[in-house]
Amino acid sequence: MRSLTILGATGSIGASTLDLVRRNRDAFRVVALTGHSNVAVLAALAREFAAEIAVIGDEALLPDLRAALAGSGIASAGGAGALIEAARRPADLTVAAIVGCAGLAPTMAAIEQGRTVALANKEALVSAGGVMTRAVAQHGTTLLPVDSEHNAIFQCLAGNDVAHVRWITLTASGGPFRDWPIERLAHATPAEAVRHPNWSMGAKISVDSATMMNKGLEFIEAWHLFPVGVERLRIIVHPQSIIHSMVEYRDGTTLAQLGPSDMRVPIASALAWPARMATPCEPLDLATIGTLTFRAPDEERFPATRLAREATLAGGAAAAVMNAANEVAVAAFLSGQIGFTQIVQCCEDVLACGLPSPPQSLEEVIAVDHEARVRAREGLELVI
């Protein structure tokens, strides 16, 4: 039996992870579960899985969480510091599934324990970059990618030397607007943007998929996880989301990972690694799927991948700045304050303001993130 903590247990990745745990109750003991504001769901999950502790990110909700857990014997805590404390509790495996840079400090705390971290929280790696990968190396942590593309690449690289890699190709569904004419994009609504054709996900990553910033963030994520160099990383649009990514070797062999568009597949791969566990997902029926198609990304309509590539080449604080601006802009879009095409424009504008010096520590990454958020809010003329 392995002990398990889930940071962001109340979200989409958290739910998929707990669905697998529910089907394998004998394999896992739950240490900590965290959520941000959904007290009822967090308390119910903590009770169902007999967690040691439940932590709510919004400290003002701690009394409600205490009340909801009364008589259960489950400890409770609240606030950003408590999330970090929870991540420090000994656990064989931590699933980092908080959305955004809010998950960075708890994810780093888990990494510093030197065990295994299954990373879904891509924004944390994009922002912290070398600070995080150095901590992984320093503490001897096993970092397992949960993002479906990176999990696919991880599997396709197994047993091979990255020196033999010719290309790593990230596949992209293209999102809900992949066939929209450029003029229509400015009028896209939040409801349309979160309606992803293939995947059911949290609101933020759904908007990122619509702008293609998700693929931009994943490009940077891949650059950190798989050291093949920026010129060996590329993106291809594959609307069916059956091939989750691929690796081409110098002998001309391409290895690809295929599977249903269900995050329980990559999550199961990380939970059971290096073994395998069963999932309830339907087997892949290629005869019914019939056709797999591919096309080059259109960076005129979706400039986010170009911006991410430029941020990777710029290095230093660029990725953290871009990510922070994107988080502010996506939240503003979701709350109806800005238009769809302003999201990536905001990232470009904030990057054009000039970059702070490269962050060397977690505190410096958080400071860069904070400053870029202020700039993004000013640039978008947001009230808060």
Beta strands in the chain (DSSP E): 2-7, 28-35, 53-56, 75-78, 93-96, 116-119, 142-145, 165-172, 233-237, 243-249, 254-258
Please name the helix (run of DSSP H) or strand (run of DSSP E) that holds residue 65, with its range, or none.
helix 62-69
145 binds ligand NAD (CB under 6 A): no
Distances, alpha carbon 48 to alpha carbons 29, 40, 42, 57, 72, in Å: 12, 12, 10, 20, 10
| Residues in region 148-167 near Mg ion by CB under 5 A | 148-149
From 46, 82, 99, 343, residue interacting with ligand NAD (rule: CB under 6 A) = 99
Burial of residue 296 (number of CB atoms within 10 Å: 0-12, 13-18, 19+): exposed
- In whole angstroms, what is the distance from residue 169 CA to residue 339 CA? 31
Q: Let me know: does 330 contact 208? Beta carbons within 8 Å.
A: yes
190 binds ligand NAD (CB under 6 A): no
| Residues in region 334-363 near ligand NAD by CB under 6 A | none
Number of shown-chain residues binding ligand NAD (CB under 6 A):
26
123 binds ligand NAD (CB under 6 A): yes
Q: 234-264 in b/e burial notation, b at 16+ Cβ within 10 A?
A: bbbbbbbbbbbbbbbbeeeeebbbebbbbbb
From 52, 147, 262, 369, residue interacting with ligand NAD (rule: CB under 6 A) = 147
Q: Candidates 98-106, 175-183, 225-233, 282-290 — which segment interacts with ligand NAD by CB under 6 A?
A: 98-106
202 binds ligand NAD (CB under 6 A): yes
In 3D, which of 193, 37, 225 has the Cα closest to residue 122?
225
Region for residue 279 given its phi and psi (left: phi exceeds 0; alpha: psi -120 to 50; beta: otherwise): beta
- Give the pair of three-digit tokens for residue 265: 């597949």
From 52, 123, 147, 208, residue interacting with Mg ion (rule: CB under 5 A) = 147
262 binds ligand NAD (CB under 6 A): no
From 4, 5, 8, 377, residue interacting with ligand NAD (rule: CB under 6 A) = 8
256 binds ligand NAD (CB under 6 A): no
- In whole angstroms, what is the distance from residue 256 CA to residue 292 CA? 13
Q: Which is nearer to ligand NAD, 169 or 173 (CB)?
A: 173
208 binds Mg ion (CB under 5 A): no
263 binds ligand NAD (CB under 6 A): yes
**HEC string of 88-102?**
HCCCCEEEECCCCHH
199 binds ligand NAD (CB under 6 A): yes
205 binds ligand NAD (CB under 6 A): yes
Nearest distance, CB of residue 164 and ligand NAD, angstroms = 27
Q: Which is nearer to ligand NAD, 36 or 232 (CB)?
A: 36
From 97, 152, 350, 366, residue interacting with ligand NAD (rule: CB under 6 A) = 97
121 binds ligand NAD (CB under 6 A): yes
Interface residues with Mg ion (CB under 5 A)? 147-149
Interface residues with ligand NAD (CB under 6 A)? 8-14, 35-36, 57, 83, 97-99, 102, 120-123, 147, 199, 201-202, 204-205, 263
